[in-house]
Amino acid sequence: MASPSSTSSLKTAYPWIKLPLITSAPMRLISNAALATTVSLAHGIGFIGAGSDISSLSEELSKARDLLSTSPTLQTKYNDTLPIGIGFLLWGAPLTETLTILSKPENTPAAVWLFAPQTSSQLKEWSQGIRTVTSQKTKIWIQVTSVHEALEATKTASPDVLVIQGTDAGGHGAAQGAGITSLVPETIDAVTSLCNNNPSIPLPAFIATGGISDGRAIASALALGAQGTCLGTRFLAAHESAIAPGYRNAVIAISDGGRTTIRSSVYDTLRGTTSWPSGYGGRGVLNASFRDHQAGMADEDNKRLYEEAVASGGDEGWEGERARLTTYAGTGVGLVKRVESARDITVGLRGEAKGVLRRLADLASTM
């Protein structure tokens, strides 16, 4: 079992957070400054999703500074860094240019989230580079999708935080994977044993992600041994997310995510995002594009229909039998019922999780 001190190490690294820790995922094009800062101002940690393209990163960080300046308390609680994180997709993001941006003191984020390297040496280069240019102020978070990947990442890059992504996650993840119920405890045990046997490798903190959409799931992630949680799909319904109205409506409307979403590479083929390393797929709502692909339609024809749907710009492209546009979402989509502010989502989730944990403590006292 991981040391309970990891929870206090998160509190030390991020003094503004309240427990249980709730973080919002770095969703490319969707998680911008508005979402990330609102989650952090609500005492979670919000991540900007730079993804594989850093062309608007400096602008987003400037917006984040403006938005955070409304909260002097938060700023003074953590003077040296911006109290948000930034997520990068290593297969596409340029390291040198990223380091130039992060080396400016006003841009130093509290956390950087690394995902989907082409090679494990990229994890080392990115972690070392970021630690150097930020004088170790920025903590390294690495998202992993299996026990094997977690051990490799820990040996290679000594992350401060491992984000353990289960297969229920929305967006990209391992094409073949396990849910957090088995993945989180097995990963924690394996990484803890690795660190115990190699005192030069510090024990990271563990964050669970994938299919977590309400307080019950947050409480269960803590029971599995995680010190905190990360949610993507639930924050798609935040006012602050940069998301098309039709996409957001689909997220609210859809239920029974195990049946209505699928992890596949077909959405990458249609969108032209084909540089992902092998072994990844994106989980999205199962739609007409996927059904046609399954029925044997040629990629070329499917892509033409997809592009027509994009060009039509109407909301009918997102919902219903004829929907063709990509609606990345996790299996927890059925628990997302309404559009709310990211603040209400973050504060509400924390309250719900605490309520569940209290009920469980009461239950345990009767046993």
Ligand X SMILES: Cc1cc2nc3c(=O)[nH]c(=O)nc-3n(C[C@H](O)[C@H](O)[C@H](O)COP(=O)(O)O)c2cc1C
Q: Should residue 170 be labelled a site residue for ligand X when binding is judged by CB under 6 A?
A: yes
Q: Give yes or no for residue 171 binding ligand X (CB under 6 A).
A: yes
Within 333-352, which residues bind ligand X (CB under 6 A)? none
Which tokens hold the place of 318? 């997102």
Q: Which stretch binds ligand X (CB under 6 A): 150-158, 194-202, 225-233, 297-305?
A: 225-233
Contacts with ligand X in 3-22 (CB under 6 A)?
A: none
In this complex, which beta carbon is closest to ligand X, that of residue 93 or of residue 195?
A: 93
- For position 30 contacting ligand X by CB under 6 A, the verdict is yes
Choose, by CB under 6 A, the member of 10, 35, 68, 89 that binds ligand X.
Answer: 89
**Does 177 interact with ligand X (rule: CB under 6 A)?**
no
- The smaller minimum CB distance to ligand X, of residues 28 and 43, is found at 28
Residue 39-68 contact track with ligand X, rule CB under 6 A, x = bound: ----------x-x-----------------
As a whole number of angstroms, the distance between CA 45 and CA 67 comes to: 14
The CB-nearest residue to ligand X is: 232
Give whichever of 183 and 195 is closer to ligand X, judged by the CB atom: 183
45 neighbors 23 (Cβ within 8 angstroms): yes
Distances (CA, A) of 255 to 258, 330, 338, 349: 9, 11, 12, 19
| Selected binder of ligand X within 37, 108, 165, 289 (CB under 6 A) | 165
Q: Which residues contact 85 (CB under 8 A, 6 or more apart)?
A: 23, 26, 36, 45, 46, 47, 48, 109, 110, 111, 112, 113, 141
| Residues pairing with 88 in the sheet | 51, 114
**Nearest approach, Cβ of 331 to ligand X (angstroms)?**
7
Q: Which of 166, 155, 168 is nearest to 194 (CA)?
A: 155
Q: Is 263 exposed, middle or buried (0-12, 13-18, 19+ CB in 10 A)?
A: buried
Q: Among residues 44 and 51, whose Cβ is nearest to ligand X? A: 51
| 185 lies in the binding site for ligand X (CB under 6 A) | no
CB 91 within 8 A of CB 118: yes
Q: Which of residues 121-150 bind ligand X (CB under 6 A)?
A: 143
Q: Partners of 165 in the beta sheet? A: 209
Q: Does 328 bind ligand X (CB under 6 A)?
A: yes
Interface segment toward ligand X; rule CB under 6 A; list 66-74, 263-271, 296-304, 325-333: 325-333
Is the separation of the CB atoms in 77 and 43 below 8 Å? no
Task: Give the nearest distance from C-beta 303 to ligand X in angstroms.
Answer: 20
Q: Between 14 and 235, name the residue whose CB sits nearer to ligand X.
A: 235
DSSP states of 292-309: HHHTT--HHHHHHHHHHH
**Could you tell me how many residues of this chain bind ligand X (CB under 6 A)?**
28
**Is residue 281 close enough to count as binding ligand X by CB under 6 A?**
no
DSSP H helical segments within the chain, as ranges?
5-13, 33-41, 57-68, 72-77, 95-102, 120-133, 147-157, 180-197, 215-223, 233-236, 245-253, 257-260, 266-271, 288-294, 299-312, 342-365
Q: Residue numbers of the site for ligand X (CB under 6 A)?
A: 25-28, 30, 49, 51, 87, 89, 115, 143, 165, 168-172, 209-212, 231-233, 328-330, 332
